[in-house]
A and B are shown apart, each in its own frame.
Chain A
Amino acid sequence: MATPSAATAADRPARPNSSRLSEGQFAAVLTMPVIVVLLAVVAYPTAYSLWMSLHRIDLIFKRTDPVGLANYAQALNSPDFWHSVVITLYYTVLVTVFAVLIAVGGALLLNEQFRGRGFLMAIVILPWAVSLYATAIVWKYIYSPEWGLLNALLLRTGLVKDPVLFLSEKGAVPALAVANAWQIAPLGMYFVLATLQVIPEDLYKAAKVDRLNAVGRFRHVVLPYIKTPLAIVMVLVTVEAARAFDIIFFMTNGGPGDASTTLSWNVYRESFVSRQLGYGAALGWLLVVLTTVITTVYFLLLFTNRQRKQKSAAATV
């Protein structure tokens, strides 16, 4: 066994290869393509859209006139804009509340032991796989006054005499929000479930020994664990809801009237229906600002909460 080694790589003269690079240089080579691609397809259009938002763009006569901040001023002075911001916030809050309730409820349920749990766990992801546009079609037919499931049930049970118009001026936003929550909740459910499953079994036992009831166990055992993941889910859902487009396109087209015209629908309408690309770009940036504000507020809440906790933890030591 102690014969000279057959693998004589060490004696070969060094040739240039990836091992001549340091770890940092090698990483630079690997990350180069993505930097180039993201510069081209994200950074460049982003910068371009900023430029567009400072111009009035006429697609027919192919003219662009610099207008400074006029597009932004126009938006901020427009009741339509503020209406769409309010609708966006309303819609976003509803989607977040519905989705979080479904996600936490579903996760708590799937954390229990029962027959058919594995099957249910596999099935609940289905709405997430159904795209948002297909979700819109699905729910359009749930709500439909002519052939909708809800009206079929309501009429059959005699609860109503005439079909209910769910996508009415008052009902449109909540109805859209339910559909959106149906689609997005499963992801949050999986995420919360994953966290629930790392809670040590002993903690539940300790809580039972301490005679905590189900509510107490949720408050003192479960909630501390899922707080952070829950906040992350909320950020994700909020941002997704704030940019909802497919659902509105298929279900209400922003209506009736402008009852469900969110800011993102406003961007679409101004850019591609009214063909005001400069104004649309400016609205797009205001949408970016809005989503950024929402996420920042969440992170601040989360962060200060965590700090307070650390302080109180330090005080008890």
Chain B
Amino acid sequence: MASPVSPAAIRLDNVTKRFETFEAVRGLDLAIESGELLVLLGSSGCGKTTTLNMLAGLEQPTSGTITFGERVVNRVPPEERDIAMVFQSIALYPHLDVRDNIGFALKTRKVQRAVIDQRTQEVAGILGIEQLLDRRIHQLSGGQRQRVAIAKALVRRPQLFLLDEPFSSLDAALRRQMRAELVRIHREVETTMVFVTHDQEEAMAIADRIAVMSEGRIVQLGHPLDLYEAPVNLWVAKFIGAHPINVVEARAAAGGATLLADGSWSAPVPAPIAARLGERADGAWVGIRPEHVEVLPPGDGPGLLRAEVYTRQILGTEVLYELAAGGERLRAVTPTSHLFRIGDPVAARFDWGNAFVFDRATEACVHQPGRRAGA
């Protein structure tokens, strides 16, 4: 994975972590490039936090090796690794004020007072918290606390910066703002960062690369748009994307395909998709994102599906419909130019240029839309 220009700063080779009978991480291979912001993304129990804890030294791998640069660090305790970490539960010391919290790690490492003061001032500037330095932790708001926690981590100038769901206890607006700021800070300090989250939107928003994890393994590693446009399998396709992807059964048929479980809809499909379906006697899954489903006034025509509006949510610039058709529900996100009401008969059309095909047995992606240039 490591490109020749940015050598891997940190490598995990075949790392496994077992707790009693439970295998949290299974044979993980990962090369983290110097200066990148890598997101470990997955639902709870996927092993992302265990991986982070092993990078921190808070857990030791059961087998495999973790290397920082040239040095194997499997058994190096956290205080001897050159790392900083920001926690979900904002681990600031309540008995110290903001300034002493930020300087605590440097003081522990016996850095000179003057150096601590100068660096504290510097990171406080970066995070815009100069005026808070003499406050107590309990006097701060949630967002301010998280800023202090980041400052506390930054002041160390660590080799590796770990963030464990740092924004998940903040409200939605603040969370968005902190994400944007984190990206800006990352550009400024160019430290290698590993960020753990279960929120795909957050991962997409900040990552240089995302490692999607499931059951202790990395399912896919790549640029955020890669995951969105070229998921390796159905699971990743379902996991990534603001609105859950539509998945319908499909079979090859004369002039295209029959779709839906009851085969009640037939539509002409592009040749590559027809070919993938044709190779599979019992059909395949077609995946299409709600953004790529059109909702039209009722009518008949090639590729049009008769449906009825089941639910409707106005999101602002867009409308999210749930359509009932052939005993199934399809989601569609459309512009607000034409509003349908619940119960209205409509026609739906897939934008086949953006459809995926997944094998039924392996759930692997066997067809994906042509890549956009410059992705």
Whether B82 is near chain A, meaning CB under 8 Å from some CB there, is yes
Residues A1 and B68 in contact, CB atoms below 8 Å apart: no
In chain B, what residue has the closest Cβ to A19? Answer: B77
0/1 per residue, B183-205, Cβ < 8 Å to A? 00000111100000000000000
Binds A, one of B142-150, B152-160, B274-282, B363-371: B152-160
Residues A1 and B79 in contact, CB atoms below 8 Å apart: no
Other-chain contact of A5, B35, B71, B82, B188 (Cβ < 8 Å): B82
Residues A19 and B191 in contact, CB atoms below 8 Å apart: no
Interface residues in A2-42 (C-beta closer than 8 Å to B): 2-3, 5-10, 12, 14, 19-20
**A56 to B154 Cα, complex, angstroms:** 73
Residues A5 and B111 in contact, CB atoms below 8 Å apart: no
For A1, A7, A12, A14, which residue has the most chain B Cβ atoms within 10 angstroms?
Answer: A7
Known: A7-B111, A7-B156, A19-B77. A1 touches B188 (CB 8 A): yes
**A1 to B190 Cα, complex, angstroms:** 8
Residues A10 and B115 in contact, CB atoms below 8 Å apart: no
For A2, A8, A14, A20, which residue has the most chain B Cβ atoms within 10 angstroms?
Answer: A2
**A9 to B77 Cα, complex, angstroms:** 11
In chain B, what residue has the closest Cβ to A9? Answer: B80
Interface residues in B188-227 (C-beta closer than 8 Å to A): 188-191
**A240 to B121 Cα, complex, angstroms:** 58
Whether B76 is near chain A, meaning CB under 8 Å from some CB there, is yes
**A80 to B162 Cα, complex, angstroms:** 72
Other-chain contact of A10, B82, B188, B189 (Cβ < 8 Å): B82
Residues of chain A contacted by B105 (CB below 8 angstroms):
7
Nearest Cβ distance between residue B34 and chain A, in whole angstroms? 10
Other-chain contact of B79, A2, A3, A19 (Cβ < 8 Å): A19
Nearest Cβ distance between residue B196 and chain A, in whole angstroms? 22
In chain A, what residue has the closest Cβ to B109? Answer: A7
Residues of chain A contacted by B82 (CB below 8 angstroms):
5, 7-10
For B79, B80, B115, B157, which residue has the most chain A Cβ atoms within 10 angstroms?
Answer: B80
Known: A6-B111, A7-B111, A9-B109. A1 touches B80 (CB 8 A): no
**A20 to B80 Cα, complex, angstroms:** 11
Whether B81 is near chain A, meaning CB under 8 Å from some CB there, is yes
**A1 to B157 Cα, complex, angstroms:** 7
**A154 to B172 Cα, complex, angstroms:** 70
Whether B106 is near chain A, meaning CB under 8 Å from some CB there, is yes
Residues of chain A contacted by B76 (CB below 8 angstroms):
10, 14
In chain B, what residue has the closest Cβ to A10? Answer: B82
In chain A, what residue has the closest Cβ to B185? Answer: A1
- The DSSP consensus for interface residues of chain B is loop
**A12 to B79 Cα, complex, angstroms:** 11
**A8 to B81 Cα, complex, angstroms:** 9
Other-chain contact of A12, B80, B111, B154, B189 (Cβ < 8 Å): B80
Residues of chain B contacted by A20 (CB below 8 angstroms):
77
Known: A9-B109, A10-B68. A2 touches B190 (CB 8 A): yes
For B71, B157, B188, which residue has the most chain A Cβ atoms within 10 angstroms?
Answer: B157
0/1 per residue, B235-276, Cβ < 8 Å to A? 000000000000000000000000000000000000000000
Residues of chain B contacted by A6 (CB below 8 angstroms):
106, 111, 115, 157
0/1 per residue, B19-46, Cβ < 8 Å to A? 0000000000000000100000000000
Residues of chain B contacted by A7 (CB below 8 angstroms):
82, 105-106, 109, 111, 156-158
In chain A, what residue has the closest Cβ to B105? Answer: A7
Known: A10-B68, A10-B82. A5 touches B77 (CB 8 A): no
Residues of chain B contacted by A19 (CB below 8 angstroms):
77, 79-80
Residues of chain B contacted by A10 (CB below 8 angstroms):
68, 71, 73, 76, 80-82, 159
Known: A9-B79, A10-B82, A19-B77. A2 touches B189 (CB 8 A): yes
**A167 to B196 Cα, complex, angstroms:** 71
Nearest Cβ distance between residue A18 and chain B, in whole angstroms? 9
**A274 to B206 Cα, complex, angstroms:** 82
Nearest Cβ distance between residue A6 and chain B, in whole angstroms? 6
**A21 to B188 Cα, complex, angstroms:** 38
**A10 to B35 Cα, complex, angstroms:** 19
0/1 per residue, B104-122, Cβ < 8 Å to A? 0110010100010000000
**A19 to B35 Cα, complex, angstroms:** 29
**A2 to B71 Cα, complex, angstroms:** 20
> What are 16 A-to-B residue pairs whose CB atoms are below 8 Å?
A1-B154, A3-B157, A5-B82, A5-B157, A5-B159, A7-B105, A7-B109, A7-B156, A7-B157, A7-B158, A9-B79, A9-B109, A10-B76, A10-B81, A12-B80, A14-B80
B residues apposed to A, CB below 8 Å: 35, 68, 71, 73, 76-77, 79-82, 105-106, 109, 111, 115, 154, 156-159, 188-191
A residues apposed to B, CB below 8 Å: 1-3, 5-10, 12, 14, 19-20
What are the 5 A-B residue pairs with the smallest beta carbon separation, nearest first? A19-B77, A1-B189, A10-B82, A2-B190, A7-B109
Q: Given A1-B188, A1-B190, 17 other A-B contacts at CB below 8 A?
A: A1-B157, A1-B189, A1-B191, A2-B189, A2-B190, A2-B191, A3-B157, A6-B106, A6-B115, A7-B105, A7-B109, A8-B82, A10-B73, A12-B80, A14-B76, A14-B80, A19-B80
